């Protein structure tokens, strides 16, 4: 049991303590060397709290200690013994159906569009598809608000279309994983409707219904101070019933109460229903949030300020998280030999280790997001991302995550602007930059997840007005920003971070939602070719999936590393900057087998090369 009498280094040794310290440093824009400094690391926690003044209150410290002491396990580290699995060798491709390919001219991508492109994806070298939600939904959050888990969204097509897609993929020896959104359902889901209509219904306890807090002057306040990820309170008030219900996301995405075993049974039945159909696994939406502290305690305002959301310490690594993950695995995934990758926003490496250790029987993999912004920067900031940070992040994970775990390698997804636009504002460099990112992604130790359009070199769109922003998060953020700044500034901020960038229809053809009419970005056939060549190269040698990683150089703007496996060796030489720099001198025995530029003494801006030991 840790107390404030212990030292900073003791806290850092605990997985939760480690990740909390790292997260704090990241938000403050400080390096983790700070904790390793003996003066800091030997400091008593109590002294640190005192020194921090009003930045860290005793309340705050106590909340942290509570979280830390709730996790007794220490991750098991295994080196050198990597089990072989299809999903470690595969290249995944994420499809956000709504903005993939529209085949009937309504401006909305559909399942037939995906079926049409299976050959293209096969040709690109993709092994598995992760399909963002295609279930019936009122689309408050584009399908992440599910009304019926066993029905296909009408705009996307029919169950027959879905079956055809699955069949076609399997015929081509490709896999399909679905998106599992079970932290919440739509408020239009039968369970929620029934729960709201009848307080004695068995579904009432499927959600978090609570009475409000009545103040002396007769005001009816939400049951607690938790905020939603999409702005505003995390509670929606139902006037007729005089009751509030919890929603960590939009007010049409109602949080399920996982402590109710009927919820778990129903969800697990549903998962098995899809697995019986033949899908190969699931990406699990915000799965780390499913276990909430049952009393739903007030959120600490200081933690809220730091993490950008009040209440988070009460559910982002909840008391039964491990238990529920094991239950899903044992009752659904394992019997079907299905694959699972969890979306775990907010969790750092040590906590991810406890969720993905092979021996722990929880998840196969997770998505960690700590590499998406450089230290001290937030999602909605307009800045240039420094790839030196990405390099250090990768080295740290590759060296310390352990060989009984697998890292997901990704830059883009449907929740973020395009990475190449974040790294440089110089559009002339997008083409080489897109190739550099691909080259690292396919030669590093982990499983690559490509987001649709990355293989075309797609960058951010130039939105000109809020009318073009259809996303619930973008709109909510805009409304909140308007309270603090001018409309112009608020728009600029939203555009810097909006998820909409990733959600405009891919430019295969010209149909667009009316809001997105006229929005286009260049596509680069040479980038697509590069993806294809690199995926083929990756497939040609298991060294890329399983080989040892060794960092040769991490000088500023440089990333040189070696991959080696069963006597075969590769050196990868990368220029992380928009300026030419000297190429790594590999020596005579190395043959250049791939370059995104030339083979000269200098690497052009963002150029990267692969050499093989002859
Ligand atoms: O996009 C985010 C912040 O800008 C994240 O907070 C994001 O909401 C979070 O990572 C959870 O994402 C997932 O669940 C959401 C859904 O809106 C996202 O599209 C999904 O990826 C709620 O289901
Ligand atoms: Ca359509």
103 CA distance to ligand 1 centroid (A)?
A: 27
Q: pLDDT, tens digit, for every residue of 115-159?
A: 999 999 999 999 999 999 999 999 999 999 999 999 999 999 999
Query: Residue 76: inside a domain, yes or no?
Result: no
Q: Which atom of ligand 1 is nearest to the CA of 413?
A: 21
With CA atoms as reference, report the closest residue to 603 among 554, 551, 560, 550.
Answer: 560
Q: What phi and psi values does residue 494 have, to the nearest 5 degrees?
A: -60, -45
Q: State how far the Cα of 429 lies from the Cα of 161, in Å rounded to an integer.
A: 40
Token readout for 312 is 């988070």
Q: Ligand 1, atom 3: nearest CA belongs to which residue?
A: 415
Query: By three-state DSSP, how is residue 339 classified?
Result: strand
**Site to substitute for ligand 1 among 94, 143, 144, most atoms within 8 A of C-beta:** 144
Q: State how far the Cα of 318 lies from the Cα of 560, in Å rounded to an integer.
A: 39
**Residues 155 and 35 reside in one and the same domain:** no
Q: pLDDT, tens digit, for every residue of 539-548?
A: 999 999 999 9
Residues with CB under 6 A from ligand 1: 141, 144, 181, 229, 249, 285-286, 343, 345, 379, 414-415, 473, 499
Q: What is the mean pLDDT of residues 449-453?
A: 98
The pLDDT value given to residue 28: 84
**Residues 357 and 495 reside in one and the same domain:** yes
Least confident of 57-71, 129-143, 175-189, 253-267: 57-71
Residues of the chain by 3-state class (helix, strand, coil), percent to 5: 40, 15, 45
Q: Which atom of ligand 1 is nearest to the CA of 415?
A: 1
**Residues 414 and 335 reside in one and the same domain:** yes
Q: What phi and psi values does residue 210 have, to the nearest 5 degrees?
A: -145, 150
254 CA distance to ligand 1 centroid (A)?
A: 14
User: Which ligand ends up closest to the CA of 229?
Assistant: 1
Q: Work out whether strand 590-595 and strand 602-603 pair parallel, antiparallel, or are unpaired.
A: unpaired
Q: Which atom of ligand 1 is nearest to the CA of 141?
A: 17
**Site to substitute for ligand 1 among 135, 181, 249, 372, most atoms within 8 A of C-beta:** 249
473 CA distance to ligand 1 centroid (A)?
A: 9
User: How many CA atoms does the CB half-sphere of 595 hold within 13 Å?
Assistant: 15
**Residues 512 and 578 reside in one and the same domain:** no
H/E element, 254? strand 253-255
With CA atoms as reference, report the closest residue to 408 among 332, 343, 334.
Answer: 343
The pLDDT value given to residue 259: 98
C-alpha distances in angstroms, 571 versus 104, 283, 516, 542, 544? 47, 32, 43, 15, 11
**Residues 519 and 551 reside in one and the same domain:** no
CATH number, residue 134: 3.20.20.80
Q: State how far the Cα of 289 lies from the Cα of 318, in Å rounded to an integer.
A: 7
**Site to substitute for ligand 1 among 135, 180, 229, 501, most atoms within 8 A of C-beta:** 229
135 CA distance to ligand 2 centroid (A)?
A: 15
Q: Ligand 1, atom 2: nearest CA belongs to which residue?
A: 415
Query: Residue 451: inside a domain, yes or no?
Result: yes
The pLDDT value given to residue 191: 98
User: Which ligand ends up closest to the CA of 133?
Assistant: 1
Q: Ligand 1, atom 4: nearest CA belongs to which residue?
A: 415
Q: Facing residues of 152 across strands?
A: 135
**Residues 358 and 279 reside in one and the same domain:** yes
User: Which ligand ends up closest to the CA of 157?
Assistant: 2
97 CA distance to ligand 2 centroid (A)?
A: 10
Maximum distance among all Cα pairs of the chain, rounded to whole angstroms: 83
377 CA distance to ligand 1 centroid (A)?
A: 18
Is pLDDT of 568 > 90?
yes
Residues 6 or more apart whose Cβ sits within 8 Å of residue 388: 556, 557, 576
Q: What is the mean pLDDT of residues 224-232?
A: 95
Query: Residue 3: inside a domain, yes or no?
Result: no
Q: pTM of the prediction?
A: 0.97
Query: By three-state DSSP, how is residue 431 classified?
Result: helix
**Site to substitute for ligand 1 among 286, 308, 494, 500, most atoms within 8 A of C-beta:** 286
Instruction: Please answer whether residues 98 and 500 qualify as being in contact, where contact means their C-beta atoms are separated by less than 8 angstroms.
Output: no
| Spacing of C-alpha 590 from chain mean position | 37
If one counts every other C-beta atom within 10 angstroms of the C-beta of residue 50, the result is 12
User: Which ligand ends up closest to the CA of 116?
Assistant: 2
Q: Ligand 1, atom 15: nearest CA belongs to which residue?
A: 144
Residues 6 or more apart whose Cβ sits within 8 Å of residue 593: 537, 610, 611, 612
Q: Ligand 1, atom 16: nearest CA belongs to which residue?
A: 144
With CA atoms as reference, report the closest residue to 550 among 353, 398, 389, 390.
Answer: 398
415 CA distance to ligand 1 centroid (A)?
A: 6
Q: What's 7's DSSP letter?
A: B
C-alpha distances in angstroms, 598 versus 72, 78, 126, 572, 605? 52, 39, 27, 14, 11
User: Which ligand ends up closest to the CA of 347?
Assistant: 1
User: How many CA atoms does the CB half-sphere of 406 hold within 13 Å?
Assistant: 27
**Residues 386 and 497 reside in one and the same domain:** yes
| Spacing of C-alpha 154 from chain mean position | 27
Q: Ligand 1, atom 18: nearest CA belongs to which residue?
A: 415
**Residues 63 and 98 reside in one and the same domain:** no
Q: pLDDT, tens digit, for every residue of 41-75?
A: 999 999 988 888 877 888 889 999 999 999 988 99
Q: State how far the Cα of 96 lies from the Cα of 100, in Å rounded to an integer.
A: 6
With CA atoms as reference, report the closest residue to 352 among 390, 314, 316.
Answer: 316
Query: Residue 339: inside a domain, yes or no?
Result: yes
Domain count, the chain: 4
The pLDDT value given to residue 60: 87
Q: Facing residues of 178 across strands?
A: 131, 282
Q: State how far the Cα of 108 lies from the Cα of 114, in Å rounded to an integer.
A: 12
Query: Residue 78: inside a domain, yes or no?
Result: no
**Residues 340 and 408 reside in one and the same domain:** yes
Residue 43, judged by CB atoms within 10 A of its CB (0-12, 13-18, 19+), counts as middle
Q: Ligand 1, atom 5: nearest CA belongs to which residue?
A: 415
Q: Which atom of ligand 1 is nearest to the CA of 144?
A: 23
Q: Which atom of ligand 1 is nearest to the CA of 229?
A: 6
Average model confidence (pLDDT) for the chain? 96
Q: Ligand 1, atom 23: nearest CA belongs to which residue?
A: 144
When pLDDT is cut at 50, 70 and 90, the band that residue 503 belongs to is very high
CATH number, residue 596: 2.60.40.1180
**Residues 279 and 336 reside in one and the same domain:** yes
The pLDDT value given to residue 192: 98
Q: pLDDT, tens digit, for every residue of 319-333?
A: 999 999 999 999 999
| Spacing of C-alpha 572 from chain mean position | 26
Is pLDDT of 510 > 80?
no
Token readout for 572 is 């990868």
Last residue of a domain, one of 234, 255, 276: 255
If one counts every other C-beta atom within 10 angstroms of the C-beta of residue 352, the result is 27
DSSP codes, 430-464: HHHHHHHHHHHHHHSSSEEEEETTGGGT-------
Last residue of a domain, one of 255, 273, 300: 255
Is pLDDT of 306 > 90?
no
46 CA distance to ligand 2 centroid (A)?
A: 59
**Residues 213 and 334 reside in one and the same domain:** no
Q: Ligand 1, atom 20: nearest CA belongs to which residue?
A: 285
Last residue of a domain, one of 255, 277, 300: 255
C-alpha distances in angstroms, 403 versus 62, 441, 610? 34, 18, 24
Angle, helix 349-356 to helix 15-28, in steps of 10 degrees: 140
The catalytic residues are: 285, 343
Query: Residue 143: inside a domain, yes or no?
Result: yes
Query: Residue 52: inside a domain, yes or no?
Result: yes
Query: Residue 77: inside a domain, yes or no?
Result: no
Q: Give the total residue count for the chain.
A: 614
Q: What is the mean pLDDT of residues 228-234?
A: 94
DSSP codes, 277-334: HT--EEEETTGGGS---TT-PPPPHHHHHHHTSTTGGGTTT-TTHHHHHHHHIIIIIH
**Residues 215 and 268 reside in one and the same domain:** no
Q: pLDDT, tens digit, for every residue of 357-379?
A: 999 999 999 999 999 999 999 99
301-324 residues labelled b (16+ CB within 10 A) or e (exposed): ebbbebbebbbbbbbbbbbbbbeb
Q: Any idea what the Cα angle at residue 434 is, between residues 431 and 439, rounded to 5°? A: 125
With CA atoms as reference, report the closest residue to 452 among 415, 524, 506.
Answer: 506
197 CA distance to ligand 1 centroid (A)?
A: 29
User: How many CA atoms does the CB half-sphere of 323 hold within 13 Å?
Assistant: 10
Residue numbers of the domain that contains 61:
8-70
Q: State how far the Cα of 488 lies from the Cα of 352, in Å rounded to an integer.
A: 39
CATH number, residue 212: 3.90.400.10
Residues 6 or more apart whose Cβ sits within 8 Å of residue 72: none
If one counts every other C-beta atom within 10 angstroms of the C-beta of residue 548, the result is 16
With CA atoms as reference, report the closest residue to 125 among 81, 70, 173.
Answer: 173
With left for phi above 0 and alpha for psi between -120 and 50, is residue 566 left, alpha or beta?
A: left
The pLDDT value given to residue 79: 85
Q: Any idea what the Cα angle at residue 26 is, between residues 183 and 573, rounded to 5°? A: 100
C-alpha distances in angstroms, 28 versus 25, 31, 60, 91? 5, 9, 17, 34
């Amino acid at each position: 049991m840790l107390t404030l009498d212990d030292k900073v280094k003791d806290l850092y040794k605990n997985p939760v303590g480690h990740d909390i310290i790292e997260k704090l440093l990241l938000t403050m824009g400080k390096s983790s060397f700070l904790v390793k400094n003996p003066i800091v690391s030997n400091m008593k926690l109590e002294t640190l709290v005192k020194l921090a003044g009003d930045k860290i209150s005793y309340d705050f410290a106590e909340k942290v200690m509570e979280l830390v002491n709730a996790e007794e396990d220490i991750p098991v580290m295994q080196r050198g013994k990597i089990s072989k699995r299809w999903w470690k060798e595969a290249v995944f491709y994420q499809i956000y159906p709504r903005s993939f390919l529209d085949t009937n001219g309504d401006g909305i991508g559909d399942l037939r569009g995906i079926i049409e492109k299976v050959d293209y994806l096969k040709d690109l070298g993709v092994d598995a598809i992760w399909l963002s939600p295609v279930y019936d939904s009122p689309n408050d959050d584009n399908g992440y608000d599910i009304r019926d888990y066993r029905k296909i969204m009408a705009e996307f097509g029919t169950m027959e279309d879905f079956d055809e897609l699955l069949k076609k993929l399997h015929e081509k020896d490709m896999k399909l994983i679905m998106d599992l959104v079970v932290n919440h359902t739509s408020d239009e889901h039968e369970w929620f409707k029934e729960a709201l209509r009848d307080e004695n219904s068995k579904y009432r306890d499927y959600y978090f219904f609570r009475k409000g807090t009545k103040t002396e002057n007769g005001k009816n306040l939400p049951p607690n101070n938790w905020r939603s990820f999409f702005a505003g309170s995390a509670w929606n008030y139902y006037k007729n019933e005089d009751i509030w219900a919890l929603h960590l996301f939009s007010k049409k995405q109602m949080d399920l109460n996982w402590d109710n075993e009927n919820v778990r049974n129903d969800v697990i039945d549903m998962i098995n229903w899809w697995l019986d159909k033949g899908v190969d696994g699931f990406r699990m939406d915000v799965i780390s949030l499913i276990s909430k502290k049952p009393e739903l305690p007030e959120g600490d305002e200081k933690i809220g300020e730091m993490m950008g959301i009040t209440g988070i310490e009460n559910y982002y690594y909840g008391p039964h998280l491990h238990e529920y993950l094991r239950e899903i695995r044992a009752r659904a995934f394992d019997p079907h030999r299905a694959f699972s990758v969890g979306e775990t926003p907010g969790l750092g490496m040590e906590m991810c280790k406890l969720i993905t250790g092979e021996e722990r029987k929880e998840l196969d993999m997770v998505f960690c997001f700590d590499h998406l912004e450089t230290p001290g920067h937030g999602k909605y900031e307009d800045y240039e991302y420094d790839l030196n940070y990405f390099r250090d992040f990768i080295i740290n994970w590759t060296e310390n995550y352990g060989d009984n775990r697998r890292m997901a390698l990704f830059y883009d997804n449907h929740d973020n602007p395009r990475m190449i636009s974040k790294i440089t504002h110089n559009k002339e460099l997008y083409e080489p930059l897109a190739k550099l990112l691909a080259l690292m992604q396919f030669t590093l130790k982990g499983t690559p997840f490509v987001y649709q359009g990355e293989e075309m070199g797609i960058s951010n769109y130039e939105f000109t007005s809020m009318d073009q922003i259809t996303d619930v998060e973008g709109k909510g953020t805009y409304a909140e920003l308007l309270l603090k700044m001018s409309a112009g500034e608020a728009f600029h901020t939203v555009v810097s971070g909006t998820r909409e960038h990733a959600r405009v229809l891919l430019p295969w053809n010209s149909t667009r939602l009316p809001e997105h009419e006229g929005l286009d970005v260049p596509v680069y056939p040479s980038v697509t070719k590069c993806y294809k060549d690199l995926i083929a190269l990756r497939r040609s040698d298991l060294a890329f999936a399983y080989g040892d990683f060794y960092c040769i150089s991490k000088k500023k703007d440089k990333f040189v590393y070696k991959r080696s496996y069963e006597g075969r060796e590769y050196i990868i030489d990368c220029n992380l900057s928009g300026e030419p720099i000297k190429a790594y001198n590999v020596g005579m025995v190395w043959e250049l087998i791939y370059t995104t530029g030339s083979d000269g003494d200098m690497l052009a801006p963002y150029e990267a090369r692969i050499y093989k030991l002859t």
